[in-house]
Amino acid sequence: MLETIIELLKDASILVSLFTLIGCVILRKNINDTIVSVSKTFLGFILLFAAAKLMISPSLKQFSHIFMMAFHVEGIVPNNEVIIVEAIVQLGQEFGSAIAFGLIGAMALNVLFARITPLKYVVLSGHHVFFMVSCLTLISMLHGYSITVSAMIGAVITAIWCVISPSLLVGYCRRIKGVEPLRASGDFSIGQFGSTSYMLAGFLGDKFGNADNDIEEAKIPTAIGFLADKNTSTFVVMLAFFLVSSAFAGFDNVQEIANQQAKHGHENVFLFLLKESGMFAVGVFALTKGVHMFVEELIPAFKGISQKLIKNSIPAIEIYSLFPYSKNAVFVGFICCTVAGFIAMMLLPFFGLPVIVPSLLFTFASGGGAGIIGNATGGTRGCILGSLACGFISIIGSGIVFQPIHDAGVTAPTTYSTTDFSILGESLHLVLSLFS
């Protein structure tokens, strides 16, 4: 019996579902709502793993194969969700349980730090807390610490960052126009770990822009408006990646790859590329839904508890919450961030770093966020400069943090995206190197 319980607790999906159950009991939810919350948490984890394993990972491997054939380099696509699943697959369920404990610990410590310090911020982007804990846990394991100790290190550092990063962004958030509904209960900040790129965007907007020249007053051509849809843009740009790489690799060579994958020994090469691009886009959609399913149930428990425990608490919200109020800034930020990411990608080999292919999830979320903050402080010029800088430094950062993550045992062609992961991860790596 005891062995069965221990075996269940080693599984991340069971562990987080159990925590959701405890949260429901504390908040005195009725039995029906409790069953729904716990079930959605569990199913969200299952959907996350299934999407990454069955759709995204195979598509990334095909793209990496074609990209390497075309340019004689390995193309690495940053994706926070995928690398967590790859880490659990390669390092075992013990790692999954450790980062699940780390997630809960980091969120609990965030509430504690918000209560006992002047920084009253509570991060509501639980999935980014999950990503950061996993990143810092891997870095710590690389330096010889046990999985348990590594997860504790990751949880503490993540919790500290949960109160520091929103405090550095709240001033910029106060300058965003048209978000009165978000201010209905007072101040808010951003609780997503691309915060350092948002800080840079705000600084550049202040220094070189003109806040009076609001990009929201400009008109975006409707002919390319379809790219504003996240799922469509992911599919279209991934298809462009496949087509360009295949053109350089030679469509005859890619046809051989398509034939190897076909059940009946032959599949049209363009149909193959369409399907692989679609598989990636659908996988990202399903994976994101899975993450949000369990986070949407886990966060209310923390939010309700924090409101009872912390007076004058300030929510640090998802960057996506701002997007409906700044559509032009999001679109321009997305495009500029993507362009800058490709420029950085071409420069990486000259610095001895692996080729990092910009992730559309990153360029949409972080590029859009940087565009919003840059526009708030520097108008159109701030939006463009901020999102260009975001794309450039994020891709370089992903290239830097890839090696220690790879050395820690995660050998998949993916790594963490957005600047906070590379800055905190590489900083921890350098500090722990002094004691190794």
DSSP calls for 379-403? HHHHHHHHHHHHHHHHHHHHHHHHH
Alpha carbon distances (Å) from 208 to 9, 109, 237: 53, 38, 31
What is the model's pTM? 0.76
**Amino acid identity of 155?**
A
CA separation for the pair 317, 386 (Å, rounded): 20
Q: What is the pLDDT of residue 86?
A: 87
Buried b (16+ CB within 10 A) or exposed e, 105-115: bbbbbbbebbe
**Helices 31-51, 80-91: inter-axial angle, 10-degree rounding:** 80
Full domain range(s) for residue 87: 2-433
Q: What is the pLDDT of residue 113?
A: 95
Instruction: Let me know how many helices (H) and strands (E) the chain has, helices first.
Output: 15, 5
Q: What is the pLDDT of residue 145?
A: 93
Q: What is the pLDDT of residue 426?
A: 95
Domain count for the chain, please give it: 1
Phi, psi dihedrals of residue 314, rounded to the nearest 5°: -120, 120
Strand partners, 285: none
Query: How do the pLDDT tens digits run along the chain, 436 residues long?
Result: 655 655 665 566 776 787 788 778 878 889 999 999 889 888 987 887 788 778 877 887 787 778 778 877 667 888 888 888 888 888 887 888 888 889 889 988 998 999 999 999 988 777 888 899 999 999 999 999 999 999 999 999 999 999 999 999 999 999 998 888 777 767 889 998 999 999 999 999 999 989 888 888 876 565 566 665 767 877 887 898 889 889 998 998 889 888 887 767 788 889 999 998 898 888 878 877 877 787 777 777 666 666 677 777 888 888 877 887 887 898 889 889 988 998 999 899 888 888 898 876 678 789 999 999 999 999 999 999 999 999 999 999 999 999 999 999 888 888 998 899 999 999 999 999 998 6
Phi, psi dihedrals of residue 52, rounded to the nearest 5°: -70, -40
CA separation for the pair 8, 11 (Å, rounded): 6
Kindly list the strands in the beta sheet with 314-317, ordered across the sheet, starting from the edge strand earlier in the chain.
121-123, 314-317, 189-190
